[in-house]
Structure 1
Amino acid sequence: RIIRGLMQHVKRLYGIRMEVRGAQHFPPRQPYVVVSNHQSSLDLLGMMEGLPDRCVPVAKRELLCMGTYGAGVGQLYGAVMGRYGAGTHRGTISTMAEAAQTMLSQDVRVWVFPEGTRNHSGSMLPFKRGAFHLAVQAQVPVVPIVISSYQHFYSKRERRFTSGHCVIQVLPPLPTRGLGPAAVPALTERVRAAMLDAFEGLSAE
């Protein structure tokens, strides 16, 4: 609530208008995994506009304080974003299964930036698969969210930050029921392709 209030202040201060489209695509009354493109720290503005109820951002550890769902949030972080050493495949599967169970038992939605880092290129980096493995393990939908380009009003390199308009587009969810781990690579690429197409369309408006 505090962070949301701060973001509202930032929007008013800089004259940024955020528009959410497609909110009807959020599945009602069930957990799911949200995946979104990651351009800069301004993504927090978009998250505060589009963040569904009971949604935990799983990005960097410092963002975990935004969740209120106990130690399970850290477990979700480890499963989705953590790195595992050689010879720990069994442990990785176990951790992902436990994270999926936490997600289901606590009835939370998870928001992940699958690019894994900020990307200012005007396109999208290859997606890491952790979020998609989690969705398949939990058998919950993947909900893609695309935040339009900030380049027309914000540039860190040029030290430019003016008023502007940003669109947060919620795309239709992709079901994972019946899918297994072997389907994750294709699911990842399918979601990325849909998001990139939407990003290019929004950014051209």
Structure 2
Amino acid sequence: MFSTATILGGGNTPCGLTWQSFRLGDLFEKVSARFLGKGDKFKATSKSITDTHNIPLVYCKKGNNGIMYWGKKGDFETYNNIISIIYNGVIATGLTYAHRDEVGILAESYFIKFKNGNPNFLCNLFIKTAIEKVLYTKYSRDNLATWANKVENELIFLPTNQHGKIDFHFMRTLINALMKQTIQGVVQYSSAKIQATKEIISQETPVQKDSLF
């Protein structure tokens, strides 16, 4: 089994895959992610999810899919199954996230989507890794990862099929297998911890309390 970190370097892999470089601007387009509410958009958000503020918003955050704030439904332009890129942040510039559920943009980031069709979430997980591999090491607060004339011209490597087309089937298969492998590993780890705890408990000598009678 190969991890995405192992196989995203381009060329051919030991399993016989063919890889090609693709210009991001040929595959993707930047889409609108406007604030639709009234007043200051930052004041219209919450730092935690509530009954009213339940739309996740991407900001310049490392981890948690870039989500730092929550907005009201209807206040922000939102998408499902979309990729976001953080263009400005102390440690977050160039980070790329794949979002399955409804999400919006607060600031310092933007959404991109495929021009022709929309691959499923598993494919976007694969592709976001390929994009981030290129962007995160190159861009910074001194060299923002903006789309026009910069990120749109970057090249990423993706697997291709015998017809020279992007192999979405391979992406889905690989990510699905890696997710199952991760889940299996968590289950095995949890089982090992439970067993170790049971063994420790079984080795404990019960403390006899003095009788009060």
Task: Check whether TM > 0.5.
Answer: no
The structure that has the greater radius of gyration is 2
| Higher strand proportion (structure 1 or 2) | 2
| Higher share in helix | 1
TM-score (norm 2): 0.25
Q: Choose between structure 1 and 2 for higher RCO, CA contacts under 8 A separated by at least 6 residues.
A: 1
- Structure 1 length normalisation: TM-score? 0.26
